[in-house]
Amino acid sequence: MEQSATSNPTASGMPMLGLGTWQNDDHEQCVESVRTALELGYRHVDTAQAYGNEAAVGEGIAAAEVDREDIFLATKLWITKLDPDSVVSSTRESLEKLGTDYVDLLYVHWPAGEYDPEATLPAFDELYDEGLIRNVGVSNFEPEHVDRAREVLDAPVFANQVEMHPFLPQAELRAYAEETDLELVAYSPLARGEVIGHPALEAVARKHDASAPQVALAWLRENGVTAIPKATSEAHIRDNYESLGISLDEGDVAQIDDIGLTNRVVNPDFAPESW
């Protein structure tokens, strides 16, 4: 299936399928998975300071025969790097590791630790004004956190990255994002593999001659959500990529919606109390 991920962008131009790199901390494996994904057609790569692999991601981008300008690259600042000085200095360190002059999207990883909207976010504005970051993002934010960020920032809040999959559909956040022109990016979109074997997902998969992970990714796309599944092997990277060729109908979406679960797989002790 030769279909570029750039053919499925959001209205803002962000490719709706990206390569997630969480726990991809074997350096050579990470380099190779990033290179493989980009040469297969991915144009969105997601990393974070906390993943410890920004240098490997940068090497993978450099190794791929894809122009940097064609890649949507995102990273995140960890909760201990959110005081104003650290926002600026650690972002510069991340850019050096990634081997790039800018990132397309810089997230606040969690509204926790050193995060203080009045202190943290003006430093993001500084990076935005300098052209070191092209978009400001937040991650694991509830609507009230996004509202406060919007009050403080001069730059737009471009995206909110949250856990989302058929077992945690995030209906409230999806409605909020639609109302406020906010991009949603789903991490753990396959519920760490738990989508495999679920009867509803497998039934839809059989109908489309697809895999359950492909159906889960297609369901997110039908809901206007960008997915960044982590994958390391070429087989899994390709399987996720080929989800772009699947179009679910209303009955398929309803069958998945009817699963009716709200199960998190990521819930650290510093997560928002409103979860």
Active-site annotation, residues: 51
Q: Is 62 exposed, middle or buried (0-12, 13-18, 19+ CB in 10 A)?
A: middle
Q: Which residues of 196-220 are buried (b: 16+ CB within 10 A; e: fewer)?
A: eebebbeebbeebebbbbbbbbbbb
Cβ atoms of residues 46 and 159 within 8 Å: no
Among residues 238, 267, 227, which one has the least CA distance to residue 8?
227
Q: Is 160 exposed, middle or buried (0-12, 13-18, 19+ CB in 10 A)?
A: buried
Q: Which tokens go with 134?
A: 């092209």
